[in-house]
Structure 1
Amino acid sequence: MARKSFALRTESHVAEIGDDIELEFQPEVMGDEFLDAYEALQDTYTELGVDPSNAAGMTPAQLRTTTDAVRAFLAGLMLPESAAQFDTMRLPHRVIVALLEWTMEIYGGNGGQRPPTSSNGSAAASPPRGTRGTASSRSKGSTPARGR
């Protein structure tokens, strides 16, 4: 009989921001909870008709709405005290995006990629193979032998 043990994380995940801010995230988030929260975030993107990876292509109103949705997603994964602190915290957009990516890594369980329910989670196509060059080799092994 094969046996495998699985440990459950009991200590909070901690995001350190600056020198004196620590935000604590739930030690474990059940798969359905995570996917439900992620689905709500994706629904916001869909309703707005935006690509979350292209902030430059969003209007200020779309960017504000998506940032609010990301903040709500993140707060839902935090411990209550940290969520309350985060709610009033002003942070650069890059930090919010980094927090989102980090939570995807720790809770999504697939190396930071989007959950498998996302249509954008597919692997990129391999680049086409190049053609072989036609230059002659300079190695001695490919030169004709003389005197035979």
Structure 2
Amino acid sequence: MARKSFALQTEPHVAEIGDDIELEFLPEVMGDDYLDALGRLQDRYKNLGIDLSGDIDEAPPEALREVNAALREFIGSLMLPESAERFSTMRLPDRVVVALLEWSKEIYGGGRPPTSSNGSAAASPPRGTRSTGSSRSKGSTPTRGR
């Protein structure tokens, strides 16, 4: 009989921001709970008419403020209560907030794409298209002194 042990994360994940800010995230989030919360975030984006794969500079400032609020709400929902309260009043650059989102996908999404339909790999180039890269496996490498 085969046997496999699985460890559960019992200590909070900690995001260090700057020299003196630590935000504690829930040790474990059930996969469906995380994906449901991420789906709600994406639905809010769609309801605002924001296409995150497009040029968001075209969106009205009020819609972008709502996107930022939705994103911060989502990230805060993954934190321990004290950190979530601190985060809700914290002013951070957008790049840090987006990095926290990406990190949450890494630690809670388990490396899975956020949705099955849009998370697939990019399509291969059409047949017959030459690549611009070179391959070390095609031929020998130059030898010094010859």
Do they fold alike, i.e. is TM over 0.5?
yes
User: Would you say 1:114 and 2:91 are equivalent positions?
Assistant: no
Q: Is the 8 A contact 2:26 2:80 kept in 1?
A: yes
Q: Is the 8 A contact 2:76 2:88 kept in 1?
A: yes
What amino acid does structure 2 have at the position aligned with 1:61?
E
Between the two proteins, the alignment pairs up a number of residues equal to 129
Q: Is the 8 A contact 2:113 2:120 kept in 1?
A: no
CA apart distance, 1:115: 1.8
| Matched residue, 1:86 | 87
User: Would you say 1:126 and 2:124 are equivalent positions?
Assistant: yes
Higher helix share: 1
TM-score by length of 2: 0.81
| Matched residue, 1:140 | none
| Matched residue, 2:27 | 27
CA RMSD of aligned residues (A): 1.8
The alignment partner of 1:5 has SS state of coil
Structure 2 unaligned blocks of 5 or more: 132-146
Distance 1:104 1:72 in 2: 15
Relative to structure 1, the CA distance from residue 92 to residue 131 in structure 2 (aligned partners, 3 Å threshold; closer, same or farther) is closer
What amino acid does structure 1 have at the position aligned with 2:59?
M
Q: Deviations over 1:111-136 (max 9, x none)?
A: xx53234x32121101234359xxxx
The alignment partner of 1:46 has SS state of helix
Distance 1:17 1:98 in 2: 11
CA apart distance, 1:58: 2.4
The alignment partner of 1:52 has SS state of coil
CA apart distance, 1:51: 1.8
Q: Which has the higher contact order (CA 8 A, sep 6+)?
A: 2
CA apart distance, 1:45: 1.2
